[in-house]
Amino acid sequence: MSVAEKKPVVKERVGEVISAKMDKTIVVRVERRFPHPQFKKIVRFQKKFYAHDDEKRARQGDTVRIAECRPLSKLKRWKLVEVISTAMEPVGGVQ
């Protein structure tokens, strides 16, 4: 393989959709768990990513896979790849 044929490495993350209220945009919360460098306790770190969902497939509570892409707006730098699992009931919905 020559240098021109190399495929770029694309970052992917798996997380939960916490908001799907915007048009073609979802907010995904990705949680990482790692040991604290000094105290060795398992620490949970959460980060929100804004992702492009052109077909509006994802709903609130779904588990999704997102991939890095070119900047689409001020905050959106990720796109929806697939919906891994759907939520049984909408989170925070009317009972």
- The answer as to whether 56 is a domain residue is yes
Residue 29 domain-assigned (yes or no): yes
pLDDT per residue over 13-22, tens digit each?
999 999 999 9
CA distance 10 to 30: 17
Q: Does residue 8 sit within a domain? A: no
Residue 30 lies in a domain: yes
Question: Does residue 5 lie within any of the structural domains?
Answer: no
For residue range 42-63, what is the model confidence (pLDDT) as tens digits?
A: 999 999 999 999 999 999 999 9
Residues of the domain holding 60: 21-85
Nearest alpha-carbon partner for 58 in 29, 84, 78, 30: 84
pLDDT above 70 (res 64) = yes
The CATH number that applies at residue 35 is 2.40.50.140
Is 72 a domain residue?
A: yes
Whole-angstrom distance between the N-terminal and C-terminal Cα of the chain? 57
Domain count, the chain: 1
What six digits make up the tokens of 14? 């798996």
User: Residue 58 class from Cβ within 10 Å (0-12 exposed, 13-18 middle, 19+ buried)?
Assistant: buried
